[in-house]
Amino acid sequence: MKNVISLLLAVLLASACTNKESNKVIKLAYLPITHSISVLNLAQKNPNIELVKFGSWPELTDALNAGQVDGAVVLIELAMKSKQEGAKIKAVSLAHKDGNVIVVAKDINSVADLKGKTFAIPHRQSSHNILLHEALKRGGLTVDEIVIRELAPTEMPSALASGQISGFCVAEPFGAMAVKIGSGKVLYTSEELWGNSLCCAFVLNDEFINGRPKEAKQLVAEFKKEANKIGYEKALTLAKGKFKQTEDVLSLSLKWIKFNDLEITPGLYKVLSSKVKDYGLSDTPPAYEDFVWSGK
């Protein structure tokens, strides 16, 4: 009888510990952009998730690398650079595919017209920088023939309207905003320059992955499963509930983005790593095996 009671107590204790662990808060960081919709959608399904909003990529990345949050949607190139510099993080999924545009002033009709002009990107470590390089290559220009300026995403539409810049590429919905207010037009979509382009990734801290392995695996599986269900209407509803932009801006923005099939495959990562090296973002991006965790 004593042995039976001891066994029952052990089972109850283990169950209590498991329930306690599964009820712990999971802090996930994001920026208020349409590229973050997959994690906003996940938070609606999982009551244990606490969303933490940031205003810039450097602030978000600092919090992620310091372990102040368990994970984040972040520029994949920025996460790669952080990993290269010693950050204990893993990319577990893409947050979306495509969803970016090269927006230019009304008097710019080709890449060649950008010669001597100023073009804005949000961060050197970004797919927006890569897409700019791809566009310049297609138009026969080099980066030395334009002025590249890092600018906060929220400032880009007004900077284009005032003539401070002649074009930009940044996370949405700011490209759509410039188009809708009439200050800019789309020169290229990301699909035209780099099909199935990578931009933002869902990244977790090693501390969370190793310290709460069961939850980490469940979270990654849930993220991918729920993202596959995000269609245009669902994305629009989520965006309208979280972002301040008008519906017509969000509607246009969401026509450029995809949320399905978000595995970071070796093939996709090889293409990304090549572009990162070719365009000078990094000489030694992390190996796939060191940077990507499938959640299995």
Residue 242, pLDDT score = 87
Domains and their CATH numbers in the chain: 26-98+197-291 (3.40.190.10), 101-193 (3.40.190.10)
Provide mean pLDDT across the span 115-138. 96
Give residue-wise pLDDT tens across range 181-234.
Answer: 999 999 999 999 998 899 999 999 999 999 999 999 999 999 999 999 998 999
DSSP assignment of 84-136 = HTT--EEEEEES-EE--EEEEETT--SGGGGTT-EEEES-SSSHHHHHHHHHH
What's the pLDDT at 16?
45
The widest CA-to-CA distance across the chain, in whole angstroms, is 87
**Stretch 66-94: mean pLDDT:** 96
Write out the two tokens for 234. 């669902």
Alpha-carbon distance of 34 to 200, in angstroms, equals 11
**Sign (positive or negative) of CA dihedral 111, 177, 230, 233:** negative
Q: For residue 11, what pLDDT band results from cuts at 50, 70 and 90?
A: very low
Q: How far apart are CA 101 and CA 170, in angstroms?
A: 7
H-helix segments, the chain:
2-22, 37-45, 57-65, 76-84, 127-139, 156-162, 174-181, 190-193, 206-211, 213-227, 232-242, 247-254, 266-278, 288-291
Neighbours of 288 (CB within 10 A): 17
Q: Which pLDDT score, from 0 to 100, does residue 195 have?
A: 87
Nearest 10 degrees: Cα torsion 148, 153, 159, 160? 80
Angstrom distance (rounded) from CA 198 to CA 268: 8
Say what the pLDDT of residue 9 is.
46
The C-alpha atoms of residue 56 and residue 243 are separated, in whole angstroms, by 15
pLDDT of 152 strictly over 70: yes
Calculate what percentage of the chain has a pLDDT beyond 90.
85
Closest CA to 156 of 165, 148, 143: 165
Measured distance CA(88)–CA(174) in Å, rounded: 31
DSSP tag of 287: P
- Please check the confidence at residue 179 and state whether its pLDDT lies above 50: yes
pLDDT surpassing 50 at residue 178: yes
- Residue 82 scores a pLDDT above 50: yes
What's the CA gap between 68 and 279, in Å, rounded? 32
Residue 26: pLDDT band (50, 70, 90) is: very high
β-strands 26-30, 71-75 pairing:
parallel
